C-alpha cells in the first residue's frame, strides 16, 4: 500500500511540475503585451469609395467635435492642475487630438462633409465647469467628463467600423478607435475614474434582440416546432431501446450465473 501511495504521489508531483514549467515557458503568459497586434490601418484604402450612411457622416462630425473641446480641456489641465499626472495626461490627449483632428478634416474634405467650428452646448458647459474649478476639483471634473465622453463614442466607432461601406470612413473609424482606447487608458491611469458611476452595459438578451440582421435566413416557427417534436420522438425511441438492451443484458447475466463454471485453459 505504501509503495502504491508513493508512486501516485510522485506522478502527481511530476504533473504539477510539468504544468508549471509549461506555463512559465509559454510566450503568451510571459510576454503578453508584445504579442498584442496593432491594427494595420495602412492596409485600408482611402479613396472615398462606397456609399455614405447617416451614421458615417455623424461619426465624422463627432470626431471633429471631440477635438474642439478636448484640446482646450487638455490645455487647461496643463495650466490649472497641480498634479503632474493630470498635466501629463492633458498634454498627451490634447496633442493626440490635434493629430486625429487633422485626419478627420482630411476625410471630411474628401467626402464633402460640413464640419462644426465650435463645441456643442454640452461640451461648452463642460469647459465652463473646468474653467471655474481649481486644484483637485478641476482634476476630478476633467477626468470625469473626458472619461464619460470617450465611453459614449467608443461603441459608436465600433459600430461604424463594422458596418460602413465607405473606405475613407472605415479608415477614420479604425484610427479613431485607437486614439479613443489610448485616451481611456490614460484617463484611467489617473486613479480618479469612478467606475461605479459609469453606465452599465445593456442586458445581453436585449442587445441580441436589437442586433442587425445577418444574411442567414431565420427558421420559421413551424419548422422549429416540428424539429422539437422529432427530437422528442427520437429521444423516446432511444430510451426504449436502451431499456430493452438493459433488460436483455440483465437476464443474460442472471442465466450465466446459474450455469456451472467451466475452467478455461
**Has residue 242 been placed in a domain?**
no
Cα atoms found within 13 Å of the Cα of residue 214, Cβ hemisphere only: 8
Q: Is the dihedral of CA 85, 90, 93, 99 positive or negative?
A: negative
Local structure of residue 52 (DSSP, 8 states) = P
The residues, any chain, with a CB within 8 Å of residue 176's CB and separated by 6 or more, are: 59, 63, 100, 103, 104, 153, 157
For residue range 53-70, list pLDDT tens digits in order: 999 999 999 999 999 999
**Has residue 251 been placed in a domain?**
no
pLDDT for the residue 244: 57
**Has residue 134 been placed in a domain?**
yes
**Has residue 92 been placed in a domain?**
yes
Please tell me the distance from the alpha carbon of residue 185 to that of residue 193, in angstroms, as a whole number: 11
**Total of domains in the chain:** 1
Domain of 136 in residue numbering reads as 47-199
pLDDT tens, per residue, the chain with 265 residues: 545 455 454 544 444 334 434 333 333 333 447 888 988 889 999 999 999 999 999 999 999 999 999 999 999 999 999 999 999 999 999 999 999 999 999 999 999 999 999 999 999 999 999 999 999 999 999 999 999 999 999 999 999 999 999 999 999 999 999 999 999 999 999 999 999 999 998 888 765 666 565 554 443 443 444 434 445 454 555 555 555 545 455 455 455 544 444 333 3
Q: ∠ CA 63-88-186 to the nearest 5 degrees?
A: 55
Secondary structure percentages of the chain, helix, strand, coil, to 5 = 75, 0, 25
pLDDT for the residue 68: 98
**Has residue 175 been placed in a domain?**
yes
**Has residue 255 been placed in a domain?**
no
- What cell numbers appear for 170 in the block? 472605415
Please tell me the distance from the alpha carbon of residue 100 to that of residue 175, in angstroms, as a whole number: 8
**Has residue 77 been placed in a domain?**
yes
pLDDT for the residue 23: 36
**Has residue 11 been placed in a domain?**
no
CA-to-CA dists, residue 187 to 63, 65, 130, angstroms: 18, 19, 16
Q: Does the pTM of the predicted model rise above 0.75?
A: no
CATH number of the structural domain spanning residue 114: 1.20.1260.10
Amino acid at each position: 500500500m505504501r509503495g502504491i501511495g508513493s508512486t501516485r504521489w510522485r506522478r502527481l508531483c511530476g504533473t504539477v511540475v510539468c504544468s508549471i514549467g509549461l506555463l512559465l515557458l509559454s510566450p503568451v503568459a510571459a510576454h503578453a503585451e508584445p504579442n498584442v497586434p496593432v491594427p494595420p490601418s495602412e492596409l485600408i484604402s482611402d479613396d472615398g469609395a462606397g456609399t455614405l450612411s447617416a451614421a458615417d457622416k455623424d461619426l465624422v462630425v463627432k470626431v471633429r467635435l471631440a477635438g474642439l473641446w478636448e484640446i482646450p480641456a487638455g490645455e487647461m489641465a496643463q495650466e490649472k492642475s497641480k498634479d503632474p499626472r493630470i498635466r501629463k495626461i492633458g498634454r498627451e490627449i490634447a496633442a493626440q487630438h490635434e493629430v486625429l483632428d487633422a485626419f478627420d478634416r482630411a476625410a471630411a474634405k474628401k467626402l464633402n462633409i460640413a464640419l462644426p467650428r465650435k463645441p456643442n452646448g454640452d461640451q461648452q458647459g463642460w469647459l465652463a465647469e473646468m474653467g471655474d474649478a481649481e486644484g483637485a476639483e478641476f482634476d476630478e471634473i476633467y477626468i470625469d467628463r473626458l472619461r464619460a465622453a470617450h465611453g459614449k463614442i467608443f461603441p459608436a466607432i465600433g459600430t461604424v467600423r463594422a458596418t460602413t461601406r465607405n473606405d475613407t470612413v472605415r479608415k477614420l473609424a479604425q484610427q479613431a478607435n485607437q486614439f479613443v482606447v489610448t485616451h481611456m487608458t490614460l484617463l484611467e491611469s489617473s486613479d480618479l475614474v469612478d467606475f461605479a458611476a459609469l453606465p452599465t452595459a445593456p442586458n445581453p438578451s436585449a442587445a441580441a434582440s436589437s442586433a442587425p440582421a445577418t444574411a442567414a435566413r431565420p427558421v420559421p416557427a413551424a419548422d422549429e416546432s416540428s424539429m422539437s417534436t422529432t427530437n422528442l420522438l427520437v429521444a423516446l425511441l432511444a430510451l426504449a431501446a436502451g431499456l430493452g438492451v438493459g433488460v436483455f443484458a440483465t437476464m443474460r447475466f442472471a442465466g450465466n450465473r446459474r450455469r456451472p463454471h467451466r475452467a478455461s485453459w
